[in-house]
Structure formats: C-alpha cells, structure tokens
Structure 1
C-alpha cells in the first residue's frame, strides 16, 4: 500500500487481507505503531482520486474491521477529524456499494465512539437524512441503522445511570432528543415506503420495517417527547383511502407504545382502541397484519389489570375476544400476530389472582381456536404453529384452575393424542424430520405447562391418572435424534417428577439411562443443562429413594465438571445440583466428598483468576460463586447431623473463599 506503482489488483488483495486479519485478531494483539500503519494504509486506499472503486471498497471494509483498534487514534482530535472526514466523503461516493460500506463504518463508530461524536452530528444527520430519503435501499437501511445504534447507546446509558443511581456521571449527549424535530419526520416518511408484496416471513428487511424499528427505539430513548410528534401523522393517515397510509399510521402507533408513560399514552390508546379493533376487518392484508401487531403491543404495554390501567376492561373484554376469535381465522401472517395479541392479553391476567377468572368463560373457545390454528395447512410458516402453542401455554398458565380443571384435563388428553400421532409421521426427508421434532417439542412444552398447573392442586389424582401415558410418550421422544425435543421432554419430565412426588420412582429404572445420556450430552449443552435441573427435581421428589441412582448421576456430573468440552454455562447449575443431591441423601454423600470438594476448590480458584472485561464476565463469575456456596451449603446441611467431621478438613478453604467474596466489590448483595 506504500508503493505508488502497485497495481490495483495487488492493492485490493492487500486491503482484503488487512480487513480479514483485523476481523480475526484482538486489539491487544497490535502495537500502536502497527495500528497507525494499518489505518494509514486503509485511509490511503479510500482516496477516490488515486484508486479504483474495487480498491476503495476493499479499503472501507478493512476500515470497518479496524475501527476497534483505533481507540488511541480517535482520542486524538486531529486524527479523529481526518478519519471522520474521509468516511463522510466516502459516504457520498457515486458507487452505492461503497456508500453502503461507509455508512456501515458510521454505524460501528456510533457504537464504539459515541462519546466522541458531538462535533460531527450535524454533518452526520444531513448525510443519513439524505440517504434515508433518496438513496438506494441498501444505503438507506444503513443510514437508518446509524440512528438505531445511537438510540441503543443512549438507552443503555440511561439504564446504567438508573441502576447506579448516579445520573450526573453518565456520558449522555442526548443526540436523539436534540435531533427529534427533524429525525421523527424523516422516520415517518420511511413508513410510507412499504413494498406491495412485503412479507416479514421471507426474511427481507426493507426501509419501512427499519424505519418503524428505529421509531420504536426513539420512543424508548425520549419517552413522552415523541408522542406529540407522531400523533398528527397517525391522525392524518389512519383513514386515508390508500392502504400505504393506513398501514404506516398503524405501524407508527404500535411502534411508540414502549417508552412513553402510561399516563401519556393511555388516553390516546383508549380513544383509538375501538378503531384498532375495527381495523382488523380492513380490506388490505398488510393493514390487518399491522393492526394485529399494534393490538399485541397495546396489550403488552397497556394491559395491567392489577394496576388499574388497562385498555381491556370487563366491559369491552367480550368484544375483544370476539374480534380475536374471528381474526385468528384470517391469513396466516395475520393469524400469527393475533396469536401474539392473545398471548399478551392472557399474560396480563397471569398474576392477577382472582381476576384471572375473567377469561374462564372463553377458555374453551380460545383453546379450540388455537388448536385449530396450530393445525392449519394453508401456511408453510412454522412460526404460526409455534405461536399458537406458545399462546395456548399462556392461556393455561393464566387460567383459574377451579374454573377450568375439566377443560384442562380434556386439553391434556388432546395434546397426548397429538404427541402419539407424531410417531406415525412418514419421514421421507430431513425437512420432514425437522417438522416432526419441532412439533414434538411444542407438544412436550404444552404438557409441561399443564403439569405445572396441576402441581398447584391439592388433588394429585389427575396427574397420577395420566402419568404412565405421559412417561411412555416421553421415553419414545428420547428415541428421536433431536436435541430440541430432548430439551423440552426433559423439562416436562422435571415437571412430572415435581407433580407426582414419590410416585415418580417407578419410572426411574427406565428413565435413568436417558437422564445419564442427557447429562453427558456436551454437544447440545442446553439439553445437558436441563438434565441437571431434572436431577434436582427428582431429588426433591424422591428424597432418599434416589440413592440407587446417585453413583451414576454423580459420576456423570463430576465427569462433566472435569471435561474441557463442557459449555461454561452448565457449570454453575451442576455445582448447585450437587448441593441438592447432598442435601437429599445426607450422610450417604460421604463417599462423594473426596471427589466433589476438590472440584469446588478448583471452581473457587478459577473465580479468583477470572478477568472481568465486561458485564457478562462479571455476571458469570458471580453466578459461579453463588453455585459454589449452594453446593457447600447443601453438603454441610446434609452431613451436619451424623457426619459433620467430614467437612472439618475443608473448613479453612471455605472460610477463605467466603472472605475473598465478601471483600470484593463486584459481588451480589
């Protein structure tokens, strides 16, 4: 790159190589003079006078990957000014792919160097506004993404300040608030650029979707201030003959429901609620779909019966249910959004105590409608089936067991019948196999929720009545090769163990081998993690009757802990589970102590050596520490009555560990 006579092909290949290297290595791998050399080469490559378009594109992409290395350079005002000047000039190149790459750089700069952007915001607004309004879609999308990124940064700053209680120390420049009068109209314009055949299911992201998403982020960032800027747009477009206008107005309405206060939104939503319900009958499919989505947002953020603030009242609930039951028969894309609306409608009643019984009169109709929706053959979109079953789960969770017990029993019978039928599917392709396992996973999920519901009943006879049938089906599920369905089946078995208590022991001779397989499933660590949770459920259910299986279980758990293949997220649950086992079997844990305590000491040593570069690492370290304490606590309580001397040799280490944690400021309270 420093040779003036280097051919364009060599320059382009060199910049590609620099970009790939920067993508793969860490910023700490380069000395500052090396970073300077990289940036010099890249910026030279972006020169539009000296280089071909291929070289310039490679240079912009290389810069994108090198931005993480440039912290020192960005702290230097003259160097930062030069980098920003070159990127902004590149953002108005005549080639669209180069403009797109330049805006991608600006998005990354917004995320990485937010606190240094203030001198450039006027220029950046003009660049992004022009691109969003008039440039090619691939460029416009990145221009909108720039503002979405600024929103993300400012929301994160606000949340951190609220958590710490020190708002004054937050480096918050309020870019969104300052740009609001110009930014919101620009985003509202994008909402009117829908495509005639747009469909979220095809995975294609367009300007309208990006603008609406950004508008929602703006609402989260500035809260009440956005409402007066958006309402005139909604009121001016909601009844226009052109469907683009009606859909855009509805999209805008739904987008701003998260962020502003309930006091600010409630009057507006109450005033427009009936209009929204009626719009589910709009002649245009896109409008109906967006209306259903807006209703789900209204139920999510403005439906809290216990707080006394809700768009749904006892007076309008029958009409709301009627609309939902009619609209769920609409086209698959609308039906999926209606499932979402029903989900949040039910969720509002989940912790409402006696108020949950207000849905009881509609329980049977809702269940029938959701089962029919899950069975629809007019949709290739598996999300509709999944949405129907997930919503069904929420309907069951929020239901009043006293009012709906008989109907839930009938539902359980229907779900078990459906699960049994999945084994009769003709499997002729990998796609068929995937559909079968996905459906089995969904059905196992419903069974789990029903079992959890029955667990709250004093009368366990219903569960005992179906337990054998449930367990036979679950064991058949384990013969299928799918980690997704194994995870759901394990969760459901945990619920069955909790619900049946000591009665579960009769299933252990057959089930324990699948449990051990789950505990050793390093490849699908979610299954391994869930299996660990099931061990804890079984311990609580069986008490000391779990003893015959403890050797194999403890062997698997200790093998997990010593394996380098184990995903780190599984380690804390395993340590906590060991505490559960020790607490359950008491003095019989003696033979595992010599193998277990060194593992706990090793985990404690790992905690003391861990770097904490980010919040995730800190959270994991605290989670690991908490699980070590839970393991020690379970062991100590388990052996205290008859074998307390077992832990005397380890007492000083336990005290040292406790003291170390108490001295650290990053611990949980």
Structure 2
C-alpha cells in the first residue's frame, strides 16, 4: 500500500455520476482497500493508476462498486484515511443518484453500513457517515418518500440509551440536512416546516441535558442552522426568548468551543433579526463584555463581531433613512438605536482591547485589538456623540503617556479612528491639540508600533482635517518626509499621508498664497525623499514603489507656478525611472505586475506634467515620445498601452507641427494599433486612446499628416463596416470622423460621402441589433452610438459651412432626422443616464437647427417642438440656452 497523507483528488473523489461508462473492464475480485491506499500515495504515477482502476471498477458494476465502498467504509480494521476516502467517494457517487438504487438489496446493505459508522470513534470517518446519512435523508425529503432516515436521526438524538458518539453524529447529520434544505428551498418552504419543530425540540433538549460537552457543541452548531426559522413563519417572541435563554446558558459554558458556538449564533441573529433583539441587549452586553475582557481569543473575537455586525446593520438603516430624508446627521435623532443604551460601556471595553496589542505583529493579524479597532470605527458612525464624549478624554490622557507604549499607541489609534468616522467640529480641537505630540512621536518614539500607528493616524488626519493641513502643513510635510526613511511599515503610512496632503491642495477651496509658499518651500526635499523611497522599494503591485510614484504625481498636479523649475527636474527623474524599469530578467508574476503598475503610474505622472507645463520641443519631450512608442509597440498589457497612448497624445500637443517628421514616426504605429480592432485583439479603452492620439496628431502636425490621411479615414471606415466593431468600438470611431472633419475643414470634403454612408450603416446596426447577441447589448450602448452619430453629423455640417458642400450634405442626412425624432420621444434615457440624455438632446437640437438653416422645412413639426421642450426642461443651463437660441433661429418663441 502506498504512503498515506495526500489529500485525494481525481474524478471519483471530486464527483461523477454513477451511470458513467468506461472502455476498459475491471479485474474481478479487486483489492479495493489496496487501490484506495494507492490513491492516497505521494507517488503521482501510482495514484493515477489507482484512480484509473477505480474508474474501471465503477464502470463495470456501479452497484457492486458502491456496496464494496460501503463495506470498506464500515471496516473497523481498515486504515482510517482509507475509510474516510471511501466515504468521500461514496458520497460524491451517491449525490443525485440515490434513486437508481433505493429499492435494491445492495442499497439496504449500504444504508446499514453507513448507520453502523455513525458511532465510530474516529471523528473524520464519523463525519463522513453524517454527511452520507444527510444525503439519504435529503433524497427522501425531496422525493416525498417516508422520512425514515430523518425520523431515525431525530429519535436517535433524543435517546438516552445510545452512545454519545452516535448522538453527536446524528446531530451533525441533522445540521447538514437543515443547511442544505434551507439553501435550496429557503426558510419558508413547506417541505421543511413540518419537521422543523421536532428537530428544534430535540436539539434544544440535547443542549439542556447533554451526556457530554461534545454533544452539547454539536447541538449548538446544529441550532445555528435552525436560526433562520426565527425570522420565518415559525418565529415568535416565546420561541425567540427560549432560544436566547439557551444561548445565554451556552455562553456560560466551561468549554471554550461551546462558548464560541453561542456567540457565533448571536452574530447571526444580529444580522438577521436585528429589530427583535432589543429586550435582550443588556444581557447580551454582559455576556459579551466578560468574553471580550476575560475569555480566550476565539469567543472574544465573536463577541466583538456581534457588536460590529449590529453597528453595520444600524449604519445601513441610517443610510437608508438619510436617503429618504436627505440628511445623515439629522437621522440620528429619529433612529432608535439598539447600541445607544450600551455605547458608553462598549467604548470602555473597546478601549481596553486597544491597549492589549502586540508590539511586533503583521498588520493583517486579526486579534482582539484589531477587531476592537473595526468595532470602534463602526460605533463612531452609529453613536458619534457618545464615542467622542468618552474617547476624547482617553486620547488626551494617554497620547503622551511616557510610561506605557501600549496606552500611547491605543490613544493614537483611537484618534485616527474617530477622526475618520466621527469627525464633527468638536474633534478639530482634539486633533490640533494632539498634533504636536504626534509629529514628535512619529520621528522619536522608541516603539515601532507607536510610530506605525502615528503615521497611520496622521495620514487619516491629512485626509479629513482641513485645519490641520492649514495650520501644520510645513510640519506635516517635513516630518512625514523624514518618516519615509523609517521601517517600511511606517514609511507606507507616511507616504499615504503625503499623498493626502497633496490632495488637500488639489481640492481645497481658497488655498492662500502663504500656504502655496509653504508648499514651494518643502517641495524639493519632499520630492527627493519620495524618489528615494521609490528607488529602494520592491516592485510588488500596490507596493511602496507605486505609492511613492503616485504621491509624486499628486504633487506635480498641485505645485504652485513658482515650482515649475522643480517640476522640470521631477519630470526628468520620472523619465529616467521609466527607462530603468525594464524586464531584463525572468520575473515572477507578482514582480511583473508590480513593474507594469509602476510604469503606468510613471507615464500617468509624465502625462500630468506635460499637460500642465507644456514645455514644447525639448529633449525631455522627444525622449518621452520615444519611450511611449516603445511601450505601444512592445508591451502586451492593455492598461499600460492605454497610458502610453495618453502620454503620446499630450506629447503631440507639445510638439510643433511637422517637428522632426513626427507624423512619419508616430502615424504608422497608431494606425496599425487601430487596425488591430478588426479581430478584437485590443481593449475598448486602448482603442479610444489610440483614436485620441491620432486625432491629436492631425491637429498638431497639420499638413505633415496629409500623407496618412487617406489611410486613416479608410481604416476607420473599414472598421465601422463590421457590425461587431460598431458594437465594441463604435462610439469612439464614429466620433473620430466628426473630429477629423473639424480638424481638416475643407480637407475632409473628399471623405464626407463615404463617412455619411458608414454612419447611416452604424445607425441601422444600432437599431436592428445586427452582429451581436441581443442579450449582451445594453440600452446605454445604443444611446452612446446615437450620440456619436449626432456629434459627427454636427461636426461635418459645421466644417462644411461656407461652401456648397453643406447643402449637399444636408440632402443626404434625412435619416439623421429620424434619430433626432427618436430622441424627442424617448423618455427612458433620462432614467438610464441623465448626463447622456442631456447630451443627446443638445446634439439633436444642434443638428436640427443646422439642417433647417440650410433647407427650409416648412411648418415646424411637432416632434421638433417636443425636442425643444426637453431642452428647456433640462437641468443643464447650457442645454436650456441652446434650446432658447434654437427656438429663435427656427422661428419659435422660447416661451
């Protein structure tokens, strides 16, 4: 027999119908125990041969195979791992196929073997027997047969004459049955209701008078699956009271696993029947408080989870109420909170947990301190006044405690939590009072855990406290920059704080000259520290390197004009890093993802710099162009290609027309990329970015693009002749035709007729659904295509103004009026996407006015009046103004 210890795999272990057939015949009198032992072997060849042998045996005689498995499963002399494997294969083979054997003698023997194993003293084997018994009972219930198995399980559970091991197994089987039936039929299914009360009665009986604590634990675990019925038709106050009394008894058990099971049930009730728990909240708090403060960690964590769950439900209720009444803060006074009566005592418990942290632990470690942090944050949103009243003194008293690093860290953590989750004006005083000590502790506290939490809290304060960013900007920037040199666990939070500080300058209203001067003063050393952090950090995705580069990009956006010389240096440094991040060696998937992520951020930061500074034809711009083209040609990541295309489009704006043959260098690459859209090998975002880049090249290169114009237009028109391309890339390709007509003016006239034909074809495709599975098409896709058609129509009409071509174009655009009429009568678009609906109305009005100014339409049709009415009723003032001007132009009064 092979070595035992490998978790079984393969088709039989993972499932497979009994009726499967195989080409090979099994040998007679096979050694089933020996084959099962080989399935568990660490030798791959031996395991594969054994699995094939099992398949052949099953194919030859499925019934005999199942009976033999049952015999091995019940054989007390067999290896326990082999017995367990036999049970697993037996269960997977029986699933869905019980009916083929239910009336056979072989099946009756199999049932006897399963029942005999229910009292095995080997737990994994006994558990398999419980699963098999549950499978049999579920079959009887689903088929409407006499529920012999379930009745036997219930009566065996209630019997005092049977062994505790058998009672355990029966309870576990009942739990499996309840879980499966509720998941399949729901808690109100009639199929369950007639058996639920007998099950509940026997489970409760075993909780109250268990022969062993193991039986009580199984009964408690089974009770968990029956809790769903408390919110269904069987739920009432008396039954809930009975269950709660049982849970309170279990919470006092001497056994830790039983106490854990009790709190597991309470957590479930907090999420499922929140409103019914009010009479019990004080007693729940008493049990939870003792568990959190004095019990072992598993029950303590579940007790904390109860309050977190309760708070989450209350937050959802508050948000729903606020959405109806429009004010989140005011809803607190109108909402009856279950937590409010115990909020103060709960704060005490949570703060006590915060002071029990470990000095050296991974941030992902889940313990009482971590769970208390989450719970305090949720509580701050439910009962902010109570939390601030109780937590604020704790912060003031302990944030400077020189004798206990745990109390310093807990106070700092508490400040960060309530600063984010309960940040009314009263907290500004606490924040400003604590900041000097936090800034000092960030650099000088001897405890790493305190420095980590301080950096985290400062990062949160930089995000939510305008007064802190205003009053302490220089100190925050300087100290957070220096903290980048600390341990990585400190540096990442300090870097996030610097990122948030830049956000303040980007988005805050009324930033003063003195504040901008403060930023200018610290920008150079700040950037040096960020680059240093990026250079020494690993390339893991979402790691410090990427965060450092993102922070640099944020300061590129918000730096004042006086800092442009520094930004020029920053851009050069960004480009240098882009060159360094090469894949010149075999990389792990994580490293490759990290490099792509960092490269994307670098290109985005360069794009933001060039968009803002516009340095013109400089060496930096030409180097950036070369790098962008290199990424477009050689990179296989769509996201990175899209960023390179956006960088290239901004570079084109910076370069003068015809500079150094720019069209010759760029156009072929872009056209090849756009043309690859025929086979769907690029993402829609990449296609849109490529089209934008080619349009920017047309605008920048002027006459230098003439050689590539026919190929460009022909490529776009050819793509739009394929229905699948219209659905995937239609909006950006159709829009590009209009933008080309505006950029080229009369130079686009040779392509007007063919463009209008293709646009009309795209309109028909959008109406007919040709070329795509209709179930995959959204109404918004259709609206986007129509918007692009109207946009390009308007552009072509405008570019044709002043020459005879405009009249000819209008004569070929009667089909566009049908789209405009559709817009006038479509009231569903606004419900779907108000912004898109406004854009469609505005474009339709523009097109109608353009066409009516060329070709007299006689009396204004009713749908045009309705279209203008939509314009007048738009919340967008630009659309209203457009409708007013249109009404005047076509001879209607805006009133």
TM-score normalised by the chain length of structure 1: 0.79
- C-alpha displacement of 1:134: 1.9
Contact 1:536 1:580 in 2 (8 A): no
Residue correspondence of structure 1 range 52-451 to structure 2 within 5 A: 71-73=231-233, 76-165=236-325, 172-200=335-363, 203-238=364-399, 239-280=401-442, 281-302=444-465, 304=466, 309-313=467-471, 316-352=472-508, 355-356=515-516, 358-376=518-536, 383-400=543-560, 402-427=561-586, 430=588, 433-451=589-607
The CA RMSD measured in Å over matched residues stands at 4.3
- The partner residue of 2:813 within 644, 650, 661 is 644
- C-alpha displacement of 1:252: 1.2
Task: Tell me which residue corresponds to 1:565.
Answer: none
- Structure 1 residues 321 and 196, CA gap change in structure 2 (3 angstroms): closer
Residue correspondence of structure 1 range 585-596 to structure 2 within 5 A: 588=755, 590-591=757-758, 593-595=760-762
- Structure label with greater radius of gyration: 2
- The partner residue of 1:631 within 785, 804, 807 is 785
> Structure 1: 5+ residue runs without aligned partners?
563-573, 611-620
Q: Within 2, Cα distance between the matches of 1:19 and 1:520?
A: 48
Task: Tell me which residue corresponds to 1:659.
Answer: 827
Q: Within 2, Cα distance between the matches of 1:89 and 1:518?
A: 67
Q: Within 1, Cα distance between the matches of 2:767 and 2:224?
A: 43
- C-alpha displacement of 1:459: 4.9
- C-alpha displacement of 1:653: 5.7
Contact 1:110 1:117 in 2 (8 A): yes
Task: Tell me which residue corresponds to 1:569.
Answer: none
Q: Within 2, Cα distance between the matches of 1:460 and 1:493?
A: 18
Contact 1:373 1:388 in 2 (8 A): yes
Contact 1:219 1:259 in 2 (8 A): yes
Q: Within 2, Cα distance between the matches of 1:665 and 1:455?
A: 30
Contact 1:233 1:249 in 2 (8 A): yes
Q: Within 2, Cα distance between the matches of 1:385 and 1:232?
A: 38
Contact 2:250 2:259 in 1 (8 A): yes
- C-alpha displacement of 1:88: 4.9
List per-residue Cα deviations over 1:422-479 (Å, max 9, x = no partner).
325421x63xx42133123223213213312322345544574344223134236624
- C-alpha displacement of 1:324: 1.9
> Structure 2: 5+ residue runs without aligned partners?
1-149, 158-165, 656-661, 700-708, 742-751, 798-808, 838-874, 876-895
- Structure 1 residues 461 and 663, CA gap change in structure 2 (3 angstroms): closer
Task: Tell me which residue corresponds to 2:883.
Answer: none
- C-alpha displacement of 1:350: 1.0
Contact 1:519 1:532 in 2 (8 A): no
List per-residue Cα deviations over 1:134-175 (Å, max 9, x = no partner).
222222222212222222222233333333226799993222
Contact 1:328 1:338 in 2 (8 A): yes
TM-score normalised by the chain length of structure 2: 0.60
- Structure 1 residues 112 and 14, CA gap change in structure 2 (3 angstroms): closer
| 2:543 aligned counterpart, secondary structure | helix
Task: Tell me which residue corresponds to 2:44.
Answer: none
- C-alpha displacement of 1:56: 6.5
- C-alpha displacement of 1:190: 0.6
Residue correspondence of structure 1 range 500-519 to structure 2 within 5 A: 500-501=652-653, 507-511=666-670
List per-residue Cα deviations over 1:573-613 (Å, max 9, x = no partner).
x676466456546762632544555546769x999x99xxx
- Structure 1 residues 198 and 497, CA gap change in structure 2 (3 angstroms): same
Q: Does 1:558 align with 2:705?
A: no
Contact 2:344 2:390 in 1 (8 A): yes
- C-alpha displacement of 1:636: 2.3
Contact 1:150 1:176 in 2 (8 A): yes
| 2:356 aligned counterpart, secondary structure | coil
| 2:287 aligned counterpart, secondary structure | helix
Contact 2:311 2:339 in 1 (8 A): yes
Contact 1:422 1:436 in 2 (8 A): no
- Structure 1 residues 119 and 488, CA gap change in structure 2 (3 angstroms): farther
Contact 1:289 1:333 in 2 (8 A): yes
Length, aligned pairs only: 619
